[in-house]
Chains A and B, each alone.
Chain A
Amino acid sequence: MTSMTVGNTAMQRPTDATATGAAVDIDQVAVRFHTKKKDVTALTDVSLRIEPGEFVSIVGASGCGKSTLLKLVSGLLRPSSGQVRLHGEEVRGPRRDIGYVFQRAALLEWRTARRNILIQAEMRRMPKTQARQRVEELIAMTGLTGFEDAYPNELSGGMQQRVALCRALLHRPPVLLMDEPFGALDALTREQMNVELRRIWRETGTTVLLVTHSIAEAVYLADRVIVMTPRPGTVAEVINVDLPVERDYGQTMAAPEFARATGRIRDLLGATTTAE
């Protein structure tokens, strides 16, 4: 493991050549949905600036528009007002320069793990040899070695999510969007995936936006945690996580800074604060 050599902070990370300024810039965005019975304001007055290479978690009550925020960044959804910019460029339609991971792995049942990852390359018409090489790289990086030729129904939930992660990383996206990627996993697997995601993030240097329901996960992984208010969702507070870049899982959980950050988030979310 090359932990020593990649031990630089997120701020010092070499940025993408085209990325001048913020990786993601959300400027006074509002989203309103119109249904037959009523109009719903999902997001209102959200402004956010995410630096290249940063890891940002988003937490908030169910239905506060966390997932909507990711859809805005990816261009799958247009804001009702305001503007979203990706590397200084306004997002107008589905963006190809992102990677997306959903709660469900959303794998194609008729393809093996490797070919599920390769679909990304096929859709983008990437050169075959280059894509193959990249797949092998990712398989090794995410610990999928030995499972390349397994079908999704033969893989555990954690393994399926690794495949989804590989697929999202294949084209080296400067921005990775993750929508509760570990929400369906059991607690132990989830912790393991957190540790691995932290490592993979440091190896790839990608900007990550992670939506999660787990406060511990949000704090352990991120440089900053965005806490959102209930609907209509807006940014309640941005918590800077002042933990070392090198984060051992057990030690991090016991760190006073971890307790401070999670405690503050719990207060904001209105959850009952129990003794920590």
Chain B
Amino acid sequence: MAAQSTIEQRERPASPSGPTSTARRPAGAGTTVARFVRKTWRPAAVLVAIFVVWWAVTAANLVKPYLVPSPGRTLDVVLAQSGYFAHHTWITSYETVLGFAIAIAVGVLSAVVMVYSPTIEKSLYPLLLFAQVIPKIAIAPLFIVWLGFGLTPKIVVAVLMAFFPIVISTVTGLKSIDPEMLQLSATMGAGPAQTFRKIRFPAALPHLFAGLKVAATMAVTGAVVGEFVGANEGLGYVILQANGNLDTPMLFAGLLIMSLLGVVLFVVVELLEYFVLPWHASRRTDAVTTSL
């Protein structure tokens, strides 16, 4: 049939692997690194600029050194007491990562349960909201009373902080599935477990990762809040001590390391997203990317 062959020619672009398909997935390490550099040089430049301004302000003696220490002095403190900082950073990282991990497990699980059971959703939602709106700094002392002076109350506060965005984003993701997709799955004879594993959960992953990125930074805050209330180790403790001694270089050093911790966790989640969801990451516009 002549008509038919012309149809196929007309609809098909000249080459099957057009320009769109080549830019799709990370082809190898080389291109990945190149992409990373291309994506991160701008925020890196801004960061450097901030350091330069900070240095200029202190070098020109515009502010008293005991109010704002110079970058050099701050760095000196870190280097001089690297063991001290390493220990407290390790403690806070441990609380953060453990709290984050527990929040993911509990958050995703409760989201799944809530999506599949409207009754449970209706009964759990108010409780969830209550847990979210209550100021963590206000209930943290209670956890110290209940759980003691160790790391557990800090981890609990971190979980509490990170839990909410994960639940909300996972519920949204699981609910935003195309209903036709579920009907299609039914006509394929798929059971609920198969539909969840092959269609519903993968489709929810972009939403889940958005929640994870928020939760990652919240987990750090949670751990530090826990330490503020009562601790003898961790970065929150370091900052509190430095504050009491009016030791601003130490205070600045603690703050910097703490922010770095949050950024590192965020970037880890973003990298994970990049490798788990290449189909999604490549479609997002570059405007909202890493905060690095």
- Does B bind A? yes
A104 at the interface (CB under 8 A from B): yes
A100 touches B1 (CB 8 A): no
- Tell me the B176-192 residues at the A interface (CB within 8 Å): 178, 180-181, 183-190
The answer to whether residues A122 and B198 also contact, given A110-B277, A147-B16 and a CB cut-off of 8 A, is yes
A123 touches B194 (CB 8 A): yes
Chain B residues with Cβ under 8 A from A102's Cβ?
180, 184
A153 touches B283 (CB 8 A): yes
- Tell me the A52-79 residues at the B interface (CB within 8 Å): 71, 74, 76
Instruction: Considering the complex, give the chain B residue whose CB is closest to the CB of A152.
Output: B279
Q: How far is the CA of A192 from the CA of B199 in the complex (A)?
A: 31
A106 at the interface (CB under 8 A from B): yes
Most B CB contacts (10 A, CB to CB) among A71, A98, A154 go to A154
* Interface residues as binary, A1-45 with B (CB distance below 8 Å gives 1, 0 otherwise): 101000000000000000000000000000000000000000000
Interface residues on A, range: 35 or more
B187 touches A74 (CB 8 A): yes
* Interface residues as binary, B190-203 with A (CB distance below 8 Å gives 1, 0 otherwise): 10001000110011
The answer to whether residues A154 and B24 also contact, given A96-B189, A119-B198 and a CB cut-off of 8 A, is yes
Q: How far is the CA of A81 from the CA of B8 in the complex (A)?
A: 45
CB distance from B111 to the nearest CB of A (A): 20
A143 touches B8 (CB 8 A): yes
Q: How far is the CA of A147 from the CA of B178 in the complex (A)?
A: 24
Number of residues of chain B lying within 8 A (CB) of chain A: 33
Chain B binding surface SS class: helix
B187 touches A150 (CB 8 A): no
A199 touches B178 (CB 8 A): no
B187 touches A96 (CB 8 A): yes
Chain A residues with Cβ under 8 A from B16's Cβ?
146-147, 150
B1 touches A199 (CB 8 A): yes
Q: How far is the CA of A109 from the CA of B21 in the complex (A)?
A: 14
CB distance from B24 to the nearest CB of A (A): 7
* Interface residues as binary, B224-256 with A (CB distance below 8 Å gives 1, 0 otherwise): 000000000000000000000000000000000
The answer to whether residues A94 and B3 also contact, given A102-B180, A108-B202, A150-B21 and a CB cut-off of 8 A, is no
B181 touches A110 (CB 8 A): no
Chain B residues with Cβ under 8 A from A94's Cβ?
183, 186-187, 189
B11 touches A106 (CB 8 A): no
A76 touches B187 (CB 8 A): yes
CB distance from A185 to the nearest CB of B (A): 11
Instruction: Considering the complex, give the chain B residue whose CB is closest to the CB of A142.
Output: B8
- Tell me the A74-125 residues at the B interface (CB within 8 Å): 74, 76, 94-96, 98-100, 102, 104, 106, 108-110, 119-120, 122-124
A276 at the interface (CB under 8 A from B): no
CB distance from B133 to the nearest CB of A (A): 31
CB distance from A60 to the nearest CB of B (A): 20
A156 at the interface (CB under 8 A from B): yes
B20 at the interface (CB under 8 A from A): yes
A238 at the interface (CB under 8 A from B): no
Q: How far is the CA of A154 from the CA of B278 in the complex (A)?
A: 14
Chain B residues with Cβ under 8 A from A3's Cβ?
1
A123 touches B185 (CB 8 A): yes
A151 at the interface (CB under 8 A from B): yes
Chain B residues with Cβ under 8 A from A120's Cβ?
188
Q: How far is the CA of A120 from the CA of B20 in the complex (A)?
A: 27
Chain A residues with Cβ under 8 A from B18's Cβ?
154
- Contacts A95-B187, A106-B181, A154-B18 known; 13 new A-B pairs at CB < 8 A: A71-B183, A76-B183, A96-B189, A99-B187, A100-B183, A106-B178, A108-B202, A109-B203, A151-B24, A151-B279, A154-B20, A192-B7, A196-B7
Listed by A's residue number, 8 A-B pairs whose Cβ atoms lie within 8 Å are A74-B187, A95-B187, A96-B188, A108-B199, A120-B188, A124-B188, A151-B24, A154-B24
- Which 4 A-B pairs give the minimum distances between C-beta atoms? A146-B16, A123-B188, A94-B186, A96-B189
Residues of B in contact with A (beta carbons under 8 Å apart): 1, 3-4, 7-8, 10-12, 16, 18, 20-21, 24, 178, 180-181, 183-190, 194, 198-199, 202-203, 277, 279-280, 283
